[in-house]
Amino acid sequence: MYTGTALGLFGLLILLLHGAGIRFFSNTIDLILALLSLSFGILIYSYALYRGHPEGIKNNGVWRRALTSRGWLAILSGIVITGFYIVLYFYPQYLGLGADGAKNTGLIALFDPLSQLLKRQPASQWFVYGVLYTLAIVFFGIKFMMKYRHNRYQQFRTLSVMFFQFGFAFLLPEVLMRLNRPYFNFANMWPLNYYFFDQWHIDGLIHAGTLGMFMLIWGLLMVFVISPYLTYRFGKRWYCSWVCGCGGLAETAGDPFRHLSDNSLRAWKIERWLIHSVLVFSIVMTVSVIHSYLGDDSSKYWLTRSLFLGIVSILIAGVAGGLYYFKRYEMAKDARFGMIGAASAILLLLINHFFSGNGNIFFIDAGSLRSWYGFAIGSVFSGVIGVGFYPLLGSRVWCRFGCPMAAILGIQQRFLSKFRITTNGGQCISCGNCSTYCEMGIDVRAYAQRGDDILRASCVGCGVCSAVCPRGVLKLETGEIGVKL
């Protein structure tokens, strides 16, 4: 275990030294050395950790170790990761990013050889980040699979996130760029991919021939057809804990911190307001951005601003109204909650249309609002807080409080999905393992001890509650909506 830790730290040291401009051999050799040290460090550590122990739940000492119980090591790692994100997002020049075509130096230059190999371009800070991110998912994923070697659901799920991260989020887009095609991740979609509907992105796709058109249509299908259908069939887990990269990191590198999620009622209230506000905001923003590049003249292009706003309003009103009509008895409180959200979104849109000038949202330029959103939600929330605070707030802060995609899938899951977690008769002993290890901070026990099914918008279907339950009480299942299994 010490060997593993030392090797991993050595890998980090190489990265750090390069950050400070110190090289060992050539960039290529140092990069290989660093990546191998990191990978083997994790592998050796995990092997030593689980070797010789019979298969089973491995949570001994989780609340006793400084790293996993908000001790000094947790605070230290929180600061380091957060610092890394701040530099990455806002001061990439310190990582050695060459400005205006200048050559990269430092850490980013270290990754040039790999970037050249993959896409024949020098590395950027995003490339560095992508490599490290993918490495973390793959190797901590292997660690997670060793930990849960008795549980096939956990193994398959982890293989899946590793595959989607490595293949779809990392490799394929790089290869596309090498082939001079648009950068595109087929497993990512609006609104998580918040620039999907930006003018430059849509134009880029439209001008990229058949493949571009396919990407555009794929993106739209994902949002409006494929993802609702999959959520209906399997629950939002098909995305959040099987495909998504943010979820992928949370489930692998973030796994040692899953129990730190706050499962109080207060946290649940904050969660509902926050995540749905982000959703409303992201819809308003996207609509305004599209609105800002459409014209008013129907003879030039059939989709005019008013027509577009009309369609969007009807769509939102239809979805919200339908939900309210069909589900008002079973889920009155949640439905009303949804209504308020949808109504305010429409209201904002209309106010915007009639009172704001061209391309403005509340008299603020749509473009700058959009970049502000990218900064606040895309960078600060998902990266700096979302990952930087893993050791303090748990692994799913972003997914739980900030992700607009999770909000949409959550609404679908809550109202229109066959997915639920069932409780095995009266067998719950109220031990609390499920609630403690739910990374979404769901108080699973509150349902299980009453013998109720768990049907929560935020549940990402990670299956860990079911795995850690010492009495085998919980099962992730699908069945007819509204029928108790």
Residues of this chain that bind ligand SF4 (CB under 6 A): 421, 428-434, 438-440, 442, 444-445, 448, 454, 459-465, 469, 471, 473-474
Q: Which is nearer to ligand SF4, 21 or 470 (CB)?
A: 470
Contacts of 464 (CB under 8 A, 6+ apart): 154, 258, 437, 438, 439
The minimum distance between CB 336 and ligand SF4, in angstroms, equals 24
Total length of the chain: 485
Binding region for another protein (CB under 8 A): 54-57, 59-65, 150-153, 155-156, 264-265, 424-427, 429-433, 435-436, 445-446, 449, 463, 466-468, 470-472, 475-476
As a whole number of angstroms, the distance between CA 298 and CA 312 comes to 17
- Helices 152-163 and 125-147: crossing angle, nearest 10°? 170
What would the two tokens of residue 169 be? 């989020």
- Out of ligand SF4, another protein, none, what residue 440 binds, judged by CB under 5 to 8 A for its kind, is ligand SF4
Q: Which is nearer to ligand SF4, 7 or 465 (CB)?
A: 465
- Out of ligand SF4, another protein, none, what residue 438 binds, judged by CB under 5 to 8 A for its kind, is ligand SF4
- Out of ligand SF4, another protein, none, what residue 459 binds, judged by CB under 5 to 8 A for its kind, is ligand SF4
Q: Which is nearer to another protein, 357 or 425 (CB)?
A: 425
Q: Which is nearer to another protein, 119 or 445 (CB)?
A: 445
The minimum distance between CB 405 and ligand SF4, in angstroms, equals 15
- Out of ligand SF4, another protein, none, what residue 151 binds, judged by CB under 5 to 8 A for its kind, is another protein
H or E stretch covering 420: strand 419-423
As a whole number of angstroms, the distance between CA 129 and CA 343 comes to 39
Q: 402-405 contacts: CB < 8 A, separation 24 or more?
A: 402/274, 402/275, 402/278, 402/377, 403/192, 403/246, 403/275, 403/278, 404/191, 404/192, 404/194, 404/275, 404/278, 404/279, 404/281, 404/282, 404/283, 404/377, 405/189, 405/191, 405/192, 405/239, 405/244
The minimum distance between CB 78 and another protein, in angstroms, equals 20
Asked if residue 241 lies in contact with residue 247, where contact means CB atoms within 8 angstroms, the answer is yes
The minimum distance between CB 458 and another protein, in angstroms, equals 18
As a whole number of angstroms, the distance between CA 382 and CA 274 comes to 14
Q: Which is nearer to ligand SF4, 97 or 243 (CB)?
A: 243
The minimum distance between CB 286 and ligand SF4, in angstroms, equals 27
Q: Which is nearer to ligand SF4, 370 or 400 (CB)?
A: 400
As a whole number of angstroms, the distance between CA 308 and CA 352 comes to 13
- Out of ligand SF4, another protein, none, what residue 461 binds, judged by CB under 5 to 8 A for its kind, is ligand SF4
The minimum distance between CB 400 and another protein, in angstroms, equals 19
The minimum distance between CB 245 and ligand SF4, in angstroms, equals 17
- Out of ligand SF4, another protein, none, what residue 426 binds, judged by CB under 5 to 8 A for its kind, is another protein
Q: Which is nearer to another protein, 64 or 300 (CB)?
A: 64
Q: Which is nearer to another protein, 151 or 165 (CB)?
A: 151
Residue 62 identity: V
- Out of another protein, ligand SF4, none, what residue 316 binds, judged by CB under 5 to 8 A for its kind, is none
As a whole number of angstroms, the distance between CA 23 and CA 30 comes to 8
In a 3-state reduction of DSSP, which class is residue 457?
A: coil
As a whole number of angstroms, the distance between CA 359 and CA 353 comes to 9
- Out of ligand SF4, another protein, none, what residue 156 binds, judged by CB under 5 to 8 A for its kind, is another protein
- Out of another protein, ligand SF4, none, what residue 465 binds, judged by CB under 5 to 8 A for its kind, is ligand SF4
As a whole number of angstroms, the distance between CA 456 and CA 357 comes to 41
User: How many separate helices (H) and strands (E) can be counted in the chain?
Assistant: 23, 4
H or E stretch covering 134: helix 125-147
Q: Which is nearer to another protein, 134 or 435 (CB)?
A: 435
The minimum distance between CB 154 and another protein, in angstroms, equals 8
Contacts of 139 (CB under 8 A, 6+ apart): 38, 39, 42, 43
